[in-house]
Amino acid sequence: MSVETPMKYEPMRYAEALARFEPVLGIETHIELGTVSKMFCGCRTVFGAEPNTQVCPVCLGLPGSLPVTNRAAIEGIIKIGLALNCDIVEWCRFARKNYFYPDMPKNYQISQYDEPLCVDGHLDVEVDGETYRIEIERVHMEEDTGKSLHVGGETGRIHGADYSLVDYNRAGIPLVEIVTKPITATGEKAPLVARAYAAELRDLVRSLGVSDVRMEQGSMRCDVNVSLMPRGADQWGTRTETKNVNSLRSVERSVRSEIERQAGVLAAGGRITQETRHFQEATGTTTSGRSKEEAQDYRYFPEPDLIPMAPPREWVEELRATLPELPAARRRRVQGEWGLTDLELRDVVNAGALDLIEDTIKAGADAGAARKWWMNELSRRATEQSVELADLPITPGQVARVQAMVDAKELNDKLARKVFEGVLAGEGGPDEVVAARGLKVVSDTGALEAIIDQVIADNADAADKVRSGKVAAVGALVGAVMKASRGQADAASARELLLKKLDQA
Amino acid sequence: MSELIGKGAAELGELIASGETSAEEVAAAHLDRIHAVDAEVHAFLHVDREGVLAQARGIDERRAAGEELGPLAGVPVAHKDVFTTKDMPTTAGSKILEGWRPPYDATVTARLRAAGMVILGKTNMDEFAMGSSTENSAFGPSRNPWDLTRIPGGSSGGSSAAVAAYEAPLGTGTDTGGSIRQPAAVTGLVGMKPTYGGASRYGMIAFASSLDTPGPFARNVLDAALMQAAFSGHDPMDSTSIDAPVPPVVEAARRADVNGLRVGVVKEFAGEGYQPGVLNRFNETVELLESLGAKVVEVSCPHFTYAMPAYYLIAPSECSSNLARFDAMRFGLRVGDDGTRSAEEIMALTRAEGFGPEVKRRIMLGTYALSSGYYDAYYGKSQQVRTLIMRDFEAAFEQVDVLISPTTPTTAFPIGERADDPMAMYLADLCTIPANLSGNPAISVPCGLADEDGLPVGVQIMAPVLADDRVYRVGAALEKALEDRWGGPLLAKAPKLEAGE
Amino acid sequence: MSAITRAEVAHLARLSRLALGEDELDHLAAQLDQIISAVARVQEVAAEDIPPTSHALPLTNVYRADENRPSLTPEQALAAAPAAEQQRFRVPRILDEEA
């Protein structure tokens, strides 16, 4: 028997791939819950702690140790299940998933197999104004593994490494796995739907307060399954699973590149191997994981060290009652309250400004002003500094305070921007910046009149034009007043006074 | 030999409490005894004389300082090497763990210490508690003090040998399929498997998690009850631990009467494969119970004969997973790490070298029973059998208060006789396994010597879940009547072990 | 007919991470065959409608509060490690990304 050499296939252009094939997706998402202790022991869960400082006999899998389930983790997963419209089952068990791997201390993972805690839910996502309902197959509870550092070889990658160093701080952190049913009929929108699902799920879980869902820190990770079937066929193709995709952008790109790759293979008469693949950020493509000599056989069986879970219905209803307003409902509400178009709403959501604007409104600002400051001035500064809007060193309360001063005509917009500049530069709160920088609208009518009289005298031509009825010419005079007052005059008042003095009021 | 070593735990506790002797004297006497006889008996894997004396002095100091201590304060105990101990190595009888020093104490260990007991050392056992003879220990077999050419039972055979050889008044064991009751029976001791969940498994190196139960060995029923009471009770570190008061076992052992009690003889546990001398002593015991006022009836538990096949699927399945952590990565033996081999290869080499034949056999059997395609036919079916056995118990306890049977079909067999015949070895647990599958409490108490070989025979008494006190009550009543008949404890008939010269 | 083939035994050894020699495999194949044939008796009695039992006691819902308990020190955690480096467990090279 001859050894088959792997063929090299060229990926197909996306448009052509979509013309010939229909993609089917499936997404498994792992989310680390933000409990203070681990899933089955009392160790801390702080991200980035010194290696092996958050370990004990239980999460190190030492002989004799036993797990005890963290109630808060179960509450967390039930909340997620409820928010995803799932049924919470009446009775279920943990199961052991048996396989050997050095970062998994017991060489089995405590997980759930055929008895997940939450089943049959859905999550609606929107892409380009169209709603896609993503059916949720199951949501189950498990534990995370440790982390390996690969030493030697070229790149610190696993292949070619001489040995590895393992830190078990992450081992045993509660992990919720959310599995979709096959996602079909998305056509060319498949990559966008996958991304929108991941984003919506992230926002949903964040709104529940059960995880920080930071993809860049690995507290949310997606495994994306993709298969293609020729258009008109009724049988799905073989799928591949791209593991641990760790940003929204990568979710989208990995689906797109996997569609292009699989289409290229299939069109050239090749076969798709059911395998694990890895997304490479640098090239935007997926590469094959090492193919296994033998099919995995996880030998699941009920975890004898843990007692079955039978969440009482009252408990489930109590938890349901604590659910906050979920992102979709909230978006619908604020869109109405703030009077936004679909496009404006999307911009606000994409900028991560929803909370900030809402909190600013709660602190007293009106919706229009709150949105204006966050979406324009402050977004611009966040972009300049390459930080998230929410990470700017300014609070919604401070933004509302600035707007209050504008409303009271103590500041104009130009001065307000200077106040923001001062706050962001760490000069203190809005009132301190106003005081320190002497930023105050000239509201003393006498002082303003003196400036205006001087401006009229200096700009006789323009003044005459206004007197003769060319009211538009007043703009130049207002500008001169603002200049003379070094920006501290209130433009509207100046205009009013000018027109009055020039007999046009 | 010092007369202190002939005394039971309750008596020693009283002597220490009254100041007639000290914990240190008692510990020293037992250390001397270990020194004298353990080269022959090989009950212990680890004894640290200075450490033991320091523990004992600590107890004496606490008492001198006026501290109120329990009835077992200062009493020595032989501790099975399956429980983790911070201050002593813990090997579970396996080469793969040789020299391992756990960073934590098992709950049972901690509670023995809290009771003021002095841990003499760690006792030998079949590797990972798999076996009925201690022949599967990586460190050589222990020997039966009644006949040093014979097995002391297993897996907790180090503890049974130690207590029977007067090296300790009390011993700890773990019972997954009979690993306390069978060694107690073949060495003439009392051995108790409490209700599953009655005592914590935390820090007990797991063999089969849904079956493993810690329990006591003693030379009399009251001593066993005292120790069970000392280490039992709810433990938040073990999810399967029962959150309920410990049954009143000490009171029951003192009460010692069976008048009016309904006793069921398990019909299925007799006949072919049972040694005549075992059946003779058992039948006499049944008559004795009747004469003491018990109402004896025969009870059928039709599925008990399927307990053994179910057990040899469930226990290996759980063990195949429990023992996966012994992989040369975080602790224990590592073989063949020459810098070129992969983690996967090192794991396989280490496990092949670090585990003995019986452990490998059971890991393989369990892996088979759980693997896809076989799960339903083997693991699944055995879990259904478990249900049937529990139903048999439930039905039986509607008719009777306790069930009795021989503890094990034969007396102690010669070392080597069944060593390479797993099926023959497994027969030793025939009568004890049902109580493990169902979680019921069961005790073995001595009921005489077999006519053929003059070796001890045990009777097993089983009760409903959480009625541990009931087996102590019956066991103590039997013990009293039998000792009246014998003119003293059975163990007094054992040949004297002479100080090894 | 035997209950288990030698090839299956070799497969089980790989799944169990046991590097067994040829002799050991032969010996084990015979013993496992005998044991499996004996324990297959469980298939005689259990009818379809009998519920399986995984736990001896009918307990449910045992949870602990989400509270921290002391961890080991890194020194304690690593004390028994066959090899350690940079406060981590040093393990031989890992072949696969994921088992």
pLDDT exceeds cutoff 80 at A445: no
Question: How far apart, in Å, are the Cα atoms of A217 and each of A50, A246, B304, B448?
Answer: 16, 8, 54, 68
What is the CB neighbour count within 10 angstroms for residue A472?
9
Per the rule left: phi > 0, alpha: psi between -120 and 50, beta: everything else, A70 is beta
Given this model, what pLDDT does residue A1 score?
39
Which of B22, B132, B137, B155 is the catalytic position?
Answer: B155
CATH 3.30.2320.50 corresponds to the domain A445-501: no
Given this model, what pLDDT does residue C97 score?
59
Residue with the two structure tokens 């033996």: B333
Test B381 with C8 for CB contact under 8 angstroms. no
pLDDT exceeds cutoff 60 at A291: no
Test A63 with B90 for CB contact under 8 angstroms. yes
Distance from CA of A208 to the nearest CA of B (A): 28
Distance from CA of C43 to the nearest CA of A (A): 19
Q: How far apart are CA B165 and CA B43, in angstroms?
A: 9
Residue B61 counted as domain residue = yes
Residue B326 counted as domain residue = no
To the query of whether residue B80 is one of the catalytic residues in this protein, the response is yes
Residues of chain B numbered 209-228 and touching chain C (CB < 8 Å): 210-211
Express each pLDDT in C20-47 by its tens digit: 999 999 999 999 999 999 999 999 987 7
State how many domains chain C has. Answer: 1
Residue of A nearest to C98 (CA): A101
Per-residue 3-state assignment (H helix, E strand, C coil) for A369-412: HHHHHHHHHHHHHHHHHCCCHHHCCCCHHHHHHHHHHHHCCCCC
Distance from CA of C1 to the nearest CA of B (A): 17
Of B210, B240, B331, which has the smallest distance from its Cβ to A62's Cβ? B331
Q: How far apart are CA B143 and CA A443, in angstroms?
A: 104
* Residues contacting B303, CB < 8 A, separation 6+: B385, B388, B389, B391, B392, C45
Cis preceding linkage at A207, omega within 30: no
- What's the distance, CA A182 to chain centroid? 23
Given this model, what pLDDT does residue B211 score?
98
State how many domains chain B has. Answer: 1
Residue of C nearest to B236 (CA): C64
Name the phi and psi angles at B133, rounded to 5. -150, -10
Written as one letter, the residue type at C57 is: L
pLDDT exceeds cutoff 90 at A38: yes
Residue B144 counted as domain residue = yes
Residue B474 counted as domain residue = yes
Residue B168 counted as domain residue = yes
Distance from CA of B350 to the nearest CA of A (A): 14
Please name every residue paired with A174 in a beta bridge, in sequence order, or none if there are none.
Answer: A143
Of B238, B317, B347, which has the smallest distance from its Cβ to A301's Cβ? B317
Q: How far apart are CA C16 and CA B368, in angstroms?
A: 10
Domain span at residue C29 reads 6-45
CA dihedral A68→A72→A75→A76, nearest 10 degrees, is: -110
Share of chain A above pLDDT 70, in %: 96
Q: How far apart are CA A277 and CA A288, in angstroms?
A: 5
Given this model, what pLDDT does residue A197 score?
97
Residue C87 counted as domain residue = no
Q: pTM above the 0.80 mark? A: yes
List the subunits that have 3+ CB pairs under 8 angstroms with A.
B, C
Domain span at residue B145 reads 3-303+387-493
Burial A473-489 (b: 16+ CB within 10 A, else e): bbebbbebbbebbeebb
pLDDT exceeds cutoff 90 at C54: yes
CATH number for the domain including B480? 3.90.1300.10
Can you list the residues of chain B whose pLDDT is less than 50?
500-501
Residue B380 counted as domain residue = no
Please count the CA atoms within 13 angstroms of the CA of A431 that sit on its side-chain side: 3
CB of A308 closer than 8 Å to CB of A91: yes
Range list of β-strands (E), B81-150: 118-123
Task: Give the range with max mean pLDDT: A37-46, A268-277, A348-357.
Answer: A37-46
Given this model, what pLDDT does residue C3 score?
80
Mean pLDDT calculated for residue range A266-286 = 91
Mean pLDDT calculated for residue range A176-190 = 96
Beta strand pairing call for A118-127 and A87-88: antiparallel
Range list of β-strands (E), chain C: 63-64, 84-85, 88-92
Interface pTM (ipTM) of the complex? 0.97
Given this model, what pLDDT does residue B149 score?
98
SS3 B417: coil
Of C63, C90, C96, which has the smallest distance from its Cβ to A69's Cβ? C63
Q: How many CB pairs under 8 A join A and B?
A: 103
> Residue C53's closest CA among B391, A64, B425, A287?
B391
List the subunits that have 3+ CB pairs under 8 angstroms with B.
A, C
Which of chain B's residues have a Cβ under 8 Å away from the Cβ of A299?
Answer: 320-321, 367, 370-372, 375
CA dihedral C8→C9→C11→C17, nearest 10 degrees, is: 160
Q: How far apart are CA B278 and CA A295, in angstroms?
A: 51
Residue C12 counted as domain residue = yes
Given this model, what pLDDT does residue A349 score?
86
Please name every residue paired with A21 in a beta bridge, in sequence order, or none if there are none.
Answer: A230
pLDDT band with cut points at 50, 70 and 90 for residue A67 = very high
Residues of chain A numbered 251-290 and touching chain C (CB < 8 Å): 276, 278, 289-290
Please name every residue paired with A180 in a beta bridge, in sequence order, or none if there are none.
Answer: A136
Q: How far apart are CA A202 and CA A197, in angstroms?
A: 8
pLDDT band with cut points at 50, 70 and 90 for residue A6 = low
